[in-house]
């Protein structure tokens, strides 16, 4: 029996219990919708970022990396349109004193009657919507004065556009080519929530792909497919993913075409990643505001402003999708187990090394030396704490794909058992071949055993 649907509460509770994600500032009563990542959360995040970095940069010839600042010149955000237009419509309720996004009332709960939406009870007294800018303001320098106002970036993309000329000259690129970066972004969301799905501080993975204008439609389609395939490659089920193209009325001011890659979260189909054809909007605006020409000039004198295709996603939305997709419960024998069926290259720990008996010097020394060898190349964990069944279940809950167990037989024939998280199959391997076996296993194609 496998779990077909999982609730956000189950994900939140497992994440907390196993130390993936904690509500932030808990000892001070918490700060709404802000989270801290524990050990396994950090490992999981690192793996997601590493797989993205490999696919977007290391495995390609047409991409370079960038790491731009969080606080940019304030004019950047005037040029980008964020100062004027990066806002959501906000309504206040004079009765319950809560604030809501006017365009998301159906997704919100009334402060007095959570079974109803704001505006649905006779007591609700909503104000007219007004625009609320989502950028966090800060002050640069010791004096708070006119001209010292700056913003925490609400997206990483603008840091890429303002470096276009640097990359063109120094990395000697010509379109089509891309610039990719991973970094924190900040949005003062009116109604954050649904665990990590909508938070105020998140880590974006964005790439701007600069192309000759006449090729933009082709590359837009290419990047939708490419990003969809990345999710399938790392195990998300096809039936839980779909592409939804925005209608003209839904698109941002800069967009010539936008598609959301949506995942079937416990809250319903929602945006996991956006792929946008931004045209020449950004380079043109930064040319206008900075007076630095951002264009491509070819060796034979041809010049044009490239068009831009942008796939943008946050690590947080991927984490929620991967946790939901991986979560499973089943009864094995008489016992129930919870298991995270992560793709092996996503799982925080690749393998556990377990001496069957913790107090047995011979077993411990074999297990420790296998652990020392494997940890040089992989994220592995040594665990001698408690009954073996409990240790297996602990590893299942953090999604460790394999466990190597060292038992009495190891002392006589130098073999260990390897237990597979998904099939629960066990086989014996020579201890000397474990390292190669694990290298190969991590490289193998993997498909979730959960029904599609
Ligand atoms: P939404 O409509 O859900 O507010 P958006 O269309 O404003 O999202 P974009 O500006 O396209 O989002 O941001 C690109 C990506 O960044 C999104 O696809 C999502 O993965 C991520 N993202 C945006 N806002 C948040 C947030 N508050 N918390 C977590 N991730 C976010």
Span 147-187, pLDDT tens digits: 789 999 999 999 999 999 999 988 888 999 999 999 999 99
Contact indicator for 220, 176 with CB cutoff of 8 Å: no
Q: How far is CA 319 from the centre of its chain?
A: 5
What's the pLDDT score for residue 108? 86
Instruction: Output the CA 313–ligand 1 centroid distance in Å.
Output: 7
Rounded to the nearest integer, the mean pLDDT of the chain is: 94
Which pLDDT value is given to residue 452? Answer: 81
Report which ligand 1 atom has the smallest distance to the Cα of 192.
27
Cα 163 to ligand 1 centre (Å): 23
Q: pLDDT of 347-357, one tens digit each?
A: 999 999 999 99
271 CB less than 6 Å from ligand 1? yes
* pLDDT band at 360; cut points 50, 70, 90: confident
For residue 102, the model assigns a pLDDT of: 92
Q: How far is CA 347 from CA 75, 244, 399, 441, in A?
A: 42, 29, 6, 13
Q: How many angstroms from the chain centroid is the CA of residue 121? A: 37
List pLDDT tens digits, range 64-110: 999 999 999 999 999 999 999 998 899 999 999 898 989 888 888 89
Percent of the chain clearing pLDDT 90 (strictly above): 85
CA–CA separation, 384 vs 406, rounded Å?
11
The values of phi and psi at residue 66, to 5°, are -150, 150
Q: Which of 261, 268, 312, 321 to mutate to test the pocket of ligand 1 (most atoms within 8 A of CB)?
A: 312
Query: Backbone dihedral region of 375: left (phi > 0), alpha (psi from -120 to 50 degrees) or beta?
Result: alpha
pLDDT score of 111: 87
Q: Give the up-direction half-sphere exposure of residue 284: CA atoms within 13 A in the CB hemisphere.
A: 12
**Whole-prediction pTM value?**
0.94
What mean pLDDT is predicted for residues 422-447? 97
Nearest CA to ligand 1 atom 27: 198
- Assess whether the C-beta atom of 314 lies below 6 angstroms from ligand 1: yes
Q: Whose CA is nearest to atom 25 of ligand 1?
A: 198
Question: For 141-155, 272-286, 400-414, which range has the lowest pLDDT when averaged over its residues?
Answer: 141-155
What is the pLDDT at residue 1? 46
Phi and psi at residue 164, to the nearest 5°: -55, -45
Q: Binning pLDDT at 50, 70 and 90, where does residue 33 land?
A: confident
Summarised one tens digit per residue, pLDDT across range 279-315 is 999 999 999 999 999 999 999 999 999 999 999 999 9
For residue 52, which of 180, 162, 196 has the smallest C-alpha distance? 180
User: In this predicted structure, which of 24-28, 140-144, 158-162, 244-248 has the lowest mean pLDDT?
Assistant: 140-144
Is 163's C-beta closer than 6 angstroms to any atom of ligand 1? no
In 3D space, the residue among 219, 419, 223, 188 whose CA is nearest the CA of residue 306 turns out to be 219
3-state secondary structure (DSSP) of residue 305: coil
**For the residues 21-40, what does the mean pLDDT come to?**
94
Given ligand 1 and candidates 153, 314, 321, 322, which is best to mutate, with the most ligand atoms within 8 Å of its CB? 314
pLDDT value at residue 332: 87
**Which residue's C-alpha comes closest to atom 2 of ligand 1?**
271
97, 152, 331, 410 from 364: Cα distances, Å: 60, 50, 31, 11
Asked if residue 274 has its Cβ within 6 Å of ligand 1, the reply is yes
């Amino acid at each position: 029996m496998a779990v077909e649907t999982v609730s956000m509460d189950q994900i939140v509770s497992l994440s907390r219990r196993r130390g993936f994600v904690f509500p932030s500032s808990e000892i001070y009563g918490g700060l709404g919708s802000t989270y801290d990542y524990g050990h396994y959360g950090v490992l999981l995040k690192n793996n997601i970022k590493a797989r993205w970095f490999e696919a977007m940069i290391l495995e390609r010839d047409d991409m370079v990396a960038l790491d731009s600042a969080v606080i940019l010149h304030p004019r950047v955000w005037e040029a980008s349109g964020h100062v004027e237009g990066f806002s959501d419509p906000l309504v206040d309720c004079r009765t319950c004193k809560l604030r809501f996004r006017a365009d998301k009332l159906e997704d919100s709960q009334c402060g007095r009657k959570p079974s109803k939406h704001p505006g649905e009870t006779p007591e609700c007294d909503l104000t007219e919507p007004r625009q609320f800018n989502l950028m966090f303001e800060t002050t640069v320098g010791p004096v708070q004065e006119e001209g010292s106002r700056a913003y925490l970036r609400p997206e990483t993309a603008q840091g890429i556009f303002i470096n276009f000329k640097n990359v063109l000259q120094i990395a000697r690129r010509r379109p089509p080519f891309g610039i990719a970066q991973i970094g924190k972004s900040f949005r003062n969301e009116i109604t954050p929530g649904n665990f990590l799905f909508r938070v105020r501080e998140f880590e974006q993975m964005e790439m701007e792909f600069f192309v000759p204008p006449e090729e933009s439609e082709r590359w837009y389609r290419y990047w939708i497919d490419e990003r969809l395939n990345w999710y399938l490659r790392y195990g998300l089920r096809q039936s839980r993913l779909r592409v939804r193209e925005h209608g003209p009325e839904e698109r941002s001011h800069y967009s010539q075409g936008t598609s959301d890659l949506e995942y079937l979260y416990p809250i319903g189909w929602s945006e996991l990643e956006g792929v946008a054809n931004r045209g020449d909007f950004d380079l043109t605006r930064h040319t206008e505001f900075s007076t630095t020409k951002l264009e491509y000039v070819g060796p034979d004198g041809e010049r044009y402003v490239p068009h831009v295709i942008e796939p943008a996603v946050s690590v947080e939305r991927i984490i929620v999708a991967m946790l939901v997709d991986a979560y499973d419960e089943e009864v094995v024998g008489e016992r129930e187990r919870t298991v995270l069926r992560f793709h092996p290259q996503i799982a925080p720990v690749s393998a556990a090394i377990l001496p069957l008996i913790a107090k047995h010097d011979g077993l411990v020394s074999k297990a420790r030396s296998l652990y020392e060898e494997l940890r040089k190349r992989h994220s592995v964990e040594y665990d001698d704490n408690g009954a073996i069944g409990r240790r297996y279940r602990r590893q299942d809950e953090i999604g460790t794909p394999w466990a190597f167990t060292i038992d009495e037989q190891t002392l006589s024939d130098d073999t260990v058992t390897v237990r597979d998280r998904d099939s629960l199959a066990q086989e014996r391997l020579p201890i000397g071949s474990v390292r190669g076996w694990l290298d190969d296993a991590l490289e193998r194609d993997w498909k979730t055993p959960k029904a599609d």
